[in-house]
Amino acid sequence: MKKKLTLPVQIAIALIAGILFGLICYFAKIPQFTTNYLKPFGTIFVNLLKFIVVPVVLLSMIDGIISMGDMKKVGSVGWKTVAYFLVTTAIACVIGLIIANIFNGAGLFPVLQNAEGAEWTGKTTQNFMDTLVAIFPDNMWKAFTNSDMLQVIVIALLLGGGVLAAGEKARMAKDLVGTLYAVIEKVMGFIISLSPIGVFTMMAWVVATKGPDILGSLALVLLAAYIAYFLHAVLVYSMAAKTFAGVNPLTFFKLASPAMIFAFTSTSSAATLPVSEECALKLGAKKDVASFVLPLGATINMDGTAIYQCVATIFLATCSGIHLTIGQMVIIVVTATLASIGTAGTPGAGMIMLAMVLTAMGIDVNMIMIIYGVDRLFDMGRTCLNVTGDISCSLCVTRWESKKAAKANK
């Protein structure tokens, strides 16, 4: 029996085939063939992505909030862990935006042909108060139909909090959310399985119509993301471990490296959990703290995903000829922070969440196919970074809890 190719391998093959076919059409001066006969299939795939974004974000965030219903039982460990992840994710977004803007300012990200002079058409404004008011919906269904992602996130937070507050009376609602989310995950899995078709058709169209220069730009955006990954790991995670847990940065990376390497190759935070716990214990984390922090981190700590979303958004905005203001970048930080937490370990969700951020910023979601073909390369680095953050958090929380216990015993 022949072994079926894994989805990443299928996507890689589709990417290479799409590039080669696009180059043939470009040099043969028949780019219209890809526009007329290939791009429509890619558009169908992108439409399916747009369709699934709202239900995935809504249900995954509500499900994630409900799953944290036992936070009171774990007391201070819970809120410290969540606070650590929220702060580091926001910092990750800022680092990602800074690196992306440095690359962009140096002219390393291209404005694609026919995109010059494109106007900003997003839903945000430069007035902070107007933006703040716009985040809160006056009509739930309108937020869904307009794919207003910040409003969808607020709705998810409110509904999730309401379910938790209702307690036992909301048992049926909890079951319904879990059931619907399981269904949506299956639907999303089917859509993700169509990725090779979308990658081949859209990559062939992009290369045939934009020329081979776009390939060098993809290498540069990868470089930008990995520089941001590296800086975040060193400046935030190892320094946090040094400052709050007293662990030398070199020791931290040396003892955490088995988990980092496993995460890099497997691209799965969940699969890396046994290795992560072993590394955390060697670094001095308490077993009860590590057994709580690491699984939670595998679910909500998505700093690598946040960096990816910020770098990719700046890159794709530039490709579209859109220049984002500081106010609009603040919206990216907020959206990407919440979106990365909402990722919740779902296979292929990094692309779904990027589609969400692009939608929130008013950038054509079709642009996502330029970058999706090399998503696996981004995924390796961002998963490695996520796992590193989980280990760092377990060390910090262990030290904070030890200090708290020491004060209580005095």
Q: How far apart are CA 318 and CA 191, in angstroms?
A: 27
Domain that holds residue 72: 7-404
pLDDT of residue 121: 41
Question: At 363, which CATH number?
Answer: 1.10.3860
* Average per-residue pLDDT for the chain: 81
Candidates 180, 179, 181, 159; CA nearest to 170 is 159
Give the pLDDT of residue 172: 94
Residues 355-380, mean pLDDT to the nearest whole number: 79
pLDDT at 348: 54
Tell me the helices (H) and strands (E) count for the chain, helix number first: 20, 0
Q: What digits encode the pLDDT tens for the residues 11-43?
A: 788 888 998 999 999 999 999 999 899 989 988
Quote the DSSP letter at residue 36.
Answer: I
To the nearest whole percent, how much of the chain has pLDDT over 90? 27
pTM of the model: 0.73
Rounded to an integer, the average pLDDT of 260-267 is 81
Q: Does the residue 99 lie in any domain? A: yes
Q: Provide the pLDDT for residue 387.
A: 93
Average pLDDT of the segment spanning 313-338: 81
DSSP 195-259: HHHHHHHHHHHHHHHH-THHHHHHHHHHHHHHHHHHHHIIIIIIHHHHHHH---HHHHHHHHHHH
State the pLDDT confidence band at 115, using cuts at 50, 70 and 90.
Answer: very low
- For 122, the token pair is 């997003």
Q: Within a domain: residue 23?
A: yes
Say if residues 174 and 70 touch (Cβ distance below 8 Å): no
CA distances from 249 to 95, 233, 320, 392 (A): 19, 10, 40, 10
Single-letter amino acid code for the residue at 395: L
Per-position DSSP letters for 158-193, written without gaps between them: HHHHHHHHHGGGGHHHHHHHHHHHHHHHHHHHHHHH
pLDDT band for position 389 (50/70/90)? very high
| pLDDT tens readout for residues 189-237 | 888 888 889 889 888 888 888 788 778 888 889 999 999 999 999 999 9
409 in a domain, yes or no? no
Residue 350 lies in a domain: yes
Residue 377 has pLDDT above 90, yes or no: no
> pLDDT value at position 116?
41
Flag whether 2 is in a domain. Answer: no
Residue 343 tokens read as 């990722």
Q: Tell me: pLDDT of 373 over 80.
A: no
On whether residue 353 sits in a domain, the answer given is yes
Q: Is 52 helix (H, G, I), strand (E, B) or coil?
A: helix
pLDDT greater at residue 408 or residue 284: 284
Residue 13 lies in a domain: yes
What's residue 117's pLDDT? 39
Q: Is residue 124 part of a domain?
A: yes
Rounded to the nearest 10°, the torsion over CA 138, 187, 339, 64 is 90
Q: Write down the pLDDT at residue 347.
A: 45
Looking at residue 32, what is its pLDDT? 92
Q: What is the largest CA-CA distance in the chain?
A: 80
Please tell me the total count of domains within the chain: 1
